[in-house]
Amino acid sequence: MKRFKAFVKKEFLHIFRDSRTMLILVAMPMVQILIFGFVISSEIKNASIAILDKSKDELTQEATQKLLSSGYFRLDKYLKSEQELETAFKRDRVKMTIVFEPGFAKHFYSDKTANVQLITDASDANTARILSNYASMILRDFQQSHNATIPNGNSLINTEVRMFYNENLDGVYMSVPGIMAMILMLVSAMMTSISITKEKEFGSMEVLLISPLKPFQIIIGKVTPYIFMALINTLSILAMGYWVFHVPIKGSLFLLLFEATLFTILALSLGIFISTVAKNQMVAMFMSMFALMLPTILLSGFIFPIENMPFPLRMISNIIPPRWFIIVVKKIMLKGAGIAYVWKETLILMGFIVLFVGLSIKKFKVRVE
Amino acid sequence: MISIKNISKSFEDIQAVKDVSIQIEEGELFGLLGPDGAGKSTLLRMVNSLMIPDEGTIRLWDLDPVKDYKKVRYIIGYMPGKFSLYTDLTIEENLEFFATVFGTTVEENYYLIKDIYQQIEPFKNRRAGKLSGGMKQKLALSCALIHKPKLLVLDEPTTGVDAVSRAEFWEMLQSLKEKGITIIVSTPYMDEAQLCDRVALMQGGEIHACDKPAHIVQQFQYPIRGVKTSNIYKALLDLRTYKSTHNVYPFGEFLHWVSKEQLFNDEEVIIFLKDRGHLNVQVRDIDPDIEDCFIELTQFNEKINA
């Protein structure tokens, strides 16, 4: 135990004394979540929209003027019928189409309720949400100012928001779980694989091997500091997500941290596995980048929705561990799910751990080659 | 006692160690001499359990480094060829780390490293990466010794170290030997042979001689002369064509000329060289040293193998 403690202390010293490692461990998670967060939820100006006015009365024209003068929207074109919706989104790349129902003014004044539909392109879910919120707000404003001009004005403009391409608006808060997966992967897998191969490269592995330290002590000792660092990172990402970007944590924080720790261990076992295969730091770094980071970013559903992938890639995404972690985090954070809803994914994560730990133990050598 | 019997080890396309057998006595300071690529490091790594031989057996007292590697690792102190301590830890932290890892404390075996460690102790808070070559080597030796090993395996400890530090280092080894530690040390420097109790001359994965340095030198059976002229390179080429030449090779500012014939006259050599236009011809008696023996043994063997 004393041996193990000495080893862990040494690992912490390595981390604290290398400013680059510290930078990656502490500053990068912050910077990344800020960049991703702000890039995705940045203020929107002059978003191109289309208008399908089936009523063409004074009121709809006034409403259109109001919307366009807000500065948020720029009119791309007037549509003539619903058939043009598809092409407007696909070819003209409008972000939103506003549909006024036939007889809008009549409904407003006599039936007290007029309907307007806001159809957004939700493949960019964040923009879609922001645009529809802006439009709804402007229309509510418009409704109030009109009610003030008529006696006993209590008419309603009913806005119905519809999402095209992504009806459940998956991905609004997608960036936080994704960033969490990415950073835990980076901190845990890449940093451990580099730190283990560093010992190989500098020859100190020979001295460690020749010592009475057991292989599992060397490995657990290497890994322990990174579990701490990863936990701190998880907390800081959650805190920033919660306070800066108002991402809710509906489920149990404890369960969330448990799953994050599980994923950290999985990433660490991947890092160990890489280090048993890689000969030096360079190779370890490239293997982590290409075998771990790229799939985490591209195939886990972090940036590109898995449903939209071609079949072979969808299959591959099944063996990308972060994919399952992202599902778990989404369920817990956004839907408030308990363990009963995430046990399947949890088991898959555990299965990956067993697999990679087993492979690493098999591959770890008590001798040099 | 360490016995190495018929050890062979091959890597993909190269046989690094060929059928090596050596006996090393308890308390001996044993030198493994040979140029780079002779197979020294591979042999040492098989002794210290880091590599498994393809053939043959090794016994460290009653332990087999292949089967009992866990026990072997308690009794061995190993200093790899490359400086392999943690450059981002201080002298003190390195030493304490290795002491704890080997289940001991710095205080417990301080007497063993005192002479060595005292020289670097004033800098104990300096990071190991910022030390000079000589200091690094003292620290590495201290770390290898801190658990009071029965056997110390040093792989080229003096390579890349200045002459003064090298001399100091060998003094330290002598004093460790007096404390009863068996030491195996490899080196490419032939002049370090005389500092060992016994040496093995290694080249091309084979041991060409294994004896006390003085005995090895005594076995050199040819007359040898130091030769110098104003054109040393031409003299080398000319002497190669001389009838009684057994071998001739540059050695410092002289050529070492080895005669095939036991009886010959230095004058004949001088005349031979002067006839070929050499000026300032000097021929003087010299004693063969271990390097002459090494050249003789390895070149002779190469001829047989060829």
Which ipTM was obtained for this model? 0.74
Query: Is A207 within 8 Å of chain B by CB?
Result: yes
**Cα gap B213→B193, rounded to integer Å:** 6
- The reply to whether A245 and A342 lie within a common domain is yes
Q: Does residue A368 fall inside a structural domain?
A: no
- The reply to whether A156 and A301 lie within a common domain is no
CB contact under 8 A, A202 and B88: no
Share of chain B above pLDDT 70, in %: 98
Q: Report the DSSP beta bridge partners of residue A47.
A: A73
Give the count of Cβ contacts less than 8 A between chain A and B: 77
What separation in angstroms does the CA of B142 have from each of A111, A348, B41, B152, B157?
94, 48, 20, 11, 12
- The reply to whether A184 and A108 lie within a common domain is no
Share of chain A above pLDDT 70, in %: 92
Q: Which of A26-40, B50-64, B89-103, B202-216 has the lowest mean pLDDT?
A: A26-40
Q: A4 contacts in B (CB within 8 Å)?
A: none
Query: Is A210 within 8 Å of chain B by CB?
Result: yes
For B234-287, write each residue's pLDDT tens digit: 888 888 888 778 888 888 888 888 887 777 777 888 888 888 888 888 888 888
Q: CB count, 10 Å around CB of B194?
A: 15
Residue B306's pLDDT band, with cuts at 50, 70 and 90, is very low
Residue A127's pLDDT band, with cuts at 50, 70 and 90, is confident
- The reply to whether A96 and A131 lie within a common domain is yes
Expressed as residue numbers, the domain containing A143 is: 47-164
pLDDT at A350: 93
Q: How far is the alpha carbon of A365 from chain B, nearest alpha carbon, in Å?
A: 10
Q: B141 contacts in A (CB within 8 Å)?
A: none
- The reply to whether A22 and A67 lie within a common domain is no
Structural domains of chain B, ranges and CATH numbers in brackets: 2-212 (3.40.50.300), 221-287 (3.30.70)
Cα-Cα-Cα-Cα dihedral sign, residues A350, A351, A354, A357: negative
Q: B51 contacts in A (CB within 8 Å)?
A: 367-368
Query: Is A20 within 8 Å of chain B by CB?
Result: no
CB contact under 8 A, B70 and A212: yes
Q: What is the mean pLDDT of chain B?
A: 85
Torsion, Cα of B297, B298, B301, B305 (10° steps): 180
Q: Which of B52, B80, B103 sits opposite A207 (nearest CB)?
A: B80
Best CA proximity match to B208, nearest among B20, B24, B76, B78:
B20
Number of domains, chain A: 2
For A157-174, write each residue's pLDDT tens digit: 888 888 776 555 555 466
Structure-block tokens of residue B208: 């060409």
pLDDT at B226: 86
- The reply to whether A151 and A214 lie within a common domain is no
Structure-block tokens of residue A146: 């009109």
Contact by Cβ (8 Å): B184, B32: yes
Q: Does residue A294 fall inside a structural domain?
A: yes
CB contact under 8 A, B85 and A13: no
CB contact under 8 A, B93 and A13: yes
- The reply to whether A69 and A181 lie within a common domain is no
